[in-house]
Amino acid sequence: MPVFDYAPAPENREIARVKQYYQPFIGGGFVDGGGEPLKTLNPATGEVLAEVSTVASSDVDSAVTAARKAFERVWSPMPGAERAKYIYRIARLIQERARELAVLESLDNGKPIKESRDADIPTAAAHFFYHAGWADKLDYAGFSTSTAGPPQPLGVAGQVIPWNFPLLMLAWKIAPALATGNTVVLKPAETTPLTALVFAEICQQAELPPGVVNIVPGAGDVGEMLVTHPGIDKVAFTGSTEVGKLIQRQLAGTRTRLTLELGGKAANVVFDDAPLDQAIEGIVNGIFFNQGHVCCAGSRLLVQESVADEVLAKLRARVETLRLGDPLDKNTDIGAINSAEQLAKIRELVASGEDEGAQRWTSSCPVPEKGYFFAPTVFSGVESSMRIAREEIFGPVLSVQTFRTPDEAVTKANTTPYGLSAGVWTEKGSRILWLSNALRAGVVWANTFNRFDPSAPFGGYKESGFGREGGRSGLAAYLKGADDGEV
Amino acid sequence: MAKSERVSVAKTYKLYIGGKFPRSESGRSYPVTSESGAFLANASQASRKDLRDAVVAARSAFGGWSGATAYNRGQVLYRVAEVMEGRREQFIAEVRDAENVRPRTAESLVDTAIDRWVWYAGWTDKLAAVLGGTNPVAGPYFSFTVPEPTGVVGVLAPQRSSLLGLVSVLAPVLATGCTAVVVSSAARPLPAITLSEVLATSDIPGGVVNLLTGHAAELGSWLASHADVNALDLTGADAEHRTELARSAADTVKRVLRAPEDEPDWTSSPGIGRMRAYLEDKTVWHPMGV
């Protein structure tokens, strides 16, 4: 049989219009920050992509002050219908500049262009479009009370986002905050600040009033300055459970409201009656989408013993066909690991898996010599006590365990301090509903995986955080008295 | 010979753990007095071990209680109101002694407490409709969101309002399907213990509510740091301990209720904020197609 090879189909990097230098966005303008400038790399090559001015504590003060002023004078007094139109404008501008943003995202983050183009950027636009419609309909969102009247915004939100879906996470944070009448100071991740700063340009193009959105690039120290700033009314954080706990501790005893979207170690449960070919696609999508840099990744495969050998064989065969390499190539399935640091962490955890006795299988796909790459890897013979079964790897590494009975599957799936997402594969409807009920996770994908939509609430149980993003529930995080049992 | 007056049978007030009424394993007790200083009873002074036993009981009971139908939970909570009504006079006397209020006020507090159970009983099978729903996602999927109970809730009950305050913080936990470990008011624990006797005879499964008498300052830190407690209500904690407790709760990412700075007026309408705080949205997706 002839074998057809893919010819390279690279997206043009000029489309990203990468500038040499980017500045923080404070009070409606781009200004130099007082922090040490950072260099953001293209993880596919390890080369410097751009230099970014970062903020110092005084800049965080200015941003919070600008946001406060905008909140009090402009944004919260503005009728919802008018706020909505600004947010709609933003949604449209993201769509208009979608290709530019997609290429820039892939350059800065390392994710395959087909993912930034087909998932990240369109979903980010959808979040703004969805939330714009809420701005003048909050009275109908179910948070009004006879005593307090319609729900009120909190004030200034300090938001800190991760590097795995830079623009999409920004959209998850900023869209609901603006729709509910809050203003924002957002810190993008240290390694992926560029699309957030292009977003700032979009705010200018939308003529969003100055100070409503402020973007303050920097590292973890800037995040800490922001979340502990006394002028902040609300903190929203997406990132590691470790940092989430630190923020929760720092905010203990204050009146600052908090939502956390943290790590996960999702179980993807495959029963013997599952549509196996479909399940294989779902397993691959669950763990190898975005290089496994996904908090809700299906990183633990629980497969019923009777089909385990078959599933593993099919899985390896499928993974072997995944194309790893240039993120800008439209045929690439797996792009670059976001940073040298993350690559080192993945390697360390994979080594622990081998040391603890799990059987490693890694795709024989060619790995580029330059840049940060890790070939897709599947561990079998994994025990629940092993680090690769317990810790979030945040990379293209799948741990496979087996089970015999549905009850055992539930016990194994729930044996984790995390509770963000889970997957179920079976043709039996009653089993899907039973398992969806029994799994202690905020999102359950049945016969599918990694689906996201602005209308569908997303967020975790247990140590995966609290609060939801998306849907009506997501609004609660930005409204007074709506999510915290305040009586 | 003159007829002697009957001597009443005094009750030993104990803890309520896993559906049973044990004394504290520590053997400790402390005297409870009325506002004027008259001796009322010795209450058990719960220890760290009692608290851990209570958490184990609450965790074991969680599957059954959260898995019961909403209709069933509603009936059980309604039954609590029914049984309380039968003990109305006893509660009035205990609240009067505990809170040093006029009989008429005590009556009103007890009646409101009973009515709260009725109010919450009606919520069990409406929460999913009010807080959940289907999600009109942009794709060939059926997606819906349901509110589910977060798990075991640790409650430091109000220090002043011995019955209405307690019911106001406990009933929302149960209505959502969560189970509870409650530390009662330290100085006014007797109505709480009587309430536990009501709960024990109201078809509430053992372990769903565990009620400890003792000191929030001592037990609160164990509750806040316990890895098998999912949420924490700090209403009854001293102002100076709250930050420390909330900090300790962060180690296991507990849902911490933002307790009002001062004890609220429990007679005002409760709203659904407390129930919302104990619920987790779960979103389920399934493809649609042939």
Q: Locate the chain A residue with the closest alpha carbon to B241.
A: A253
Q: By the CB < 8 Å criterion, does A1 face chain B? A: no
Q: By the CB < 8 Å criterion, does B130 face chain A? A: yes
Secondary-structure percent of chain B, ordered helix, strand, coil, rounded to 5: 45, 20, 40
| Residues within 8 A of A (CB atoms), B 213-252 only | 227, 230, 233, 242-244, 246-247, 249-252
In-domain check, residue B15: no
Complex prediction ipTM: 0.96
Cα atoms in the 13 Å half-sphere on the side-chain side of B50: 30
Of residues B35 and B154, more confidently modeled: B154
Q: Is A369 a catalytic residue?
A: no
- pLDDT, position A487: 39
Contact A209, A87 (CB under 8 A): no
- What is the rounded CA–CA span in Å between residue A213 and residue A200? 8
What lies within 8 Å, CB to CB, of B55 at 6+ separation is B152, B154, B181, B210, B223, B226, B228, B229
Among A295, A392, A463, A469, the one annotated catalytic? A295
- The structural domain count of chain B equals 1
Per the structure, the complete domain to which residue B138 belongs is given by: 29-287
- What is the rounded CA–CA span in Å between residue A364 and residue A43? 21
Q: By the CB < 8 Å criterion, does B141 face chain A? A: yes
- pLDDT, position A482: 66
Is a pLDDT exceeding 90 seen at residue B2?
no
Is a pLDDT exceeding 50 seen at residue B7?
yes
| 487 residues of chain A, pLDDT tens digit each | 787 888 999 999 999 999 999 999 999 999 999 999 999 999 999 999 999 999 999 999 999 999 999 999 999 999 999 999 999 999 999 999 999 999 999 999 999 999 999 999 999 999 999 999 999 999 999 888 777 778 899 999 999 999 999 999 999 999 999 999 999 999 999 999 999 999 999 999 999 999 999 999 999 999 999 999 999 999 999 999 999 999 999 999 999 999 999 999 999 999 999 999 999 999 999 999 999 999 999 999 999 999 999 999 999 999 999 999 999 999 999 999 999 999 999 999 999 999 999 999 999 999 999 999 999 999 999 999 999 999 999 999 999 999 999 999 999 999 999 999 999 999 999 999 999 999 999 999 999 999 999 999 999 999 999 999 999 999 999 999 765 554 3
User: What six digits make up the tokens of A274?
Assistant: 């599952």
Return mean pLDDT, chain B.
Answer: 96
In-domain check, residue B250: yes
User: What six digits make up the tokens of A458?
Assistant: 């997303």
Contact A398, A419 (CB under 8 A): no
The answer for A481, left when phi > 0, alpha when psi is -120 to 50, beta otherwise, is left
In chain A, what residues touch B255 (CB-CB under 8 Å)?
A: 466
Q: Is A295 a catalytic residue?
A: yes
Q: Locate the chain A residue with the closest alpha carbon to B252.
A: A463
The closest CB to that of B287, out of A241, A442, A447, belongs to A447
In chain A, what residues touch B139 (CB-CB under 8 Å)?
A: 451, 453
Contact A170, A188 (CB under 8 A): yes
User: Alpha carbon B215 to chain centroid distance?
Assistant: 16
- For domain A13-262+462-476, give the CATH superfamily: Aldehyde Dehydrogenase; Chain A, domain 1 (3.40.605.10)
- pLDDT, position A372: 98
Q: SS3 sequence, B22-74?
A: CCCCCCCEEEEECCCCCEEEEEECCCHHHHHHHHHHHHHHHHHHHHCCHHHHH
Angle (CA) A23-A27-A30 rounded to 5° is 20
CATH number, domain at B119? 3.40.605.10
Contact B33, B188 (CB under 8 A): no
CB contact under 8 A, B284 and A466: no
Best of B142, B253, B263, B275 to disrupt the A interface (most A CBs within 10 Å) is B253
What lies within 8 Å, CB to CB, of A185 at 6+ separation is A60, A63, A64, A67, A156, A157, A158, A159, A214, A215, A216, A226, A232
Cα four-point dihedral sign A405, A299, A436, B77 = positive
Domain residues of chain A, as ranges? 13-262+462-476, 267-446
In-domain check, residue B12: no
Is a pLDDT exceeding 70 seen at residue B1?
no
Give pLDDT tens digits for B109-159.
999 999 999 999 999 999 999 999 999 999 999 999 999 999 999 999 999
Using only C-alpha atoms, chain B has a radius of gyration, in whole angstroms, of 20
Cα atoms in the 13 Å half-sphere on the side-chain side of B187: 14
The closest CB to that of B273, out of A443, A466, A481, belongs to A481
- pLDDT, position A5: 85
Q: What are phi and psi of B28, to 5 degrees?
A: -85, 150
- What is the rounded CA–CA span in Å between residue A286 and residue A445? 10
User: What six digits make up the tokens of A20?
Assistant: 């040499």
Give, for A286, the enclosing helix (H) or strand (E).
helix A276-288
**Would you tell me the crossing angle of helices B88-99 and B103-121 to the nearest 10 degrees?**
120
- One-letter amino acid at B122 equals G
Longest dimension (CA), chain A: 74
- 3.40.309.10, 3.40.1390.10, 3.40.50.1820, 3.40.50.1370: which CATH number matches A267-446? 3.40.309.10
In-domain check, residue B22: no
Other residues' Cβ atoms within 10 Å of the Cβ of residue A146: 7
In-domain check, residue B5: no
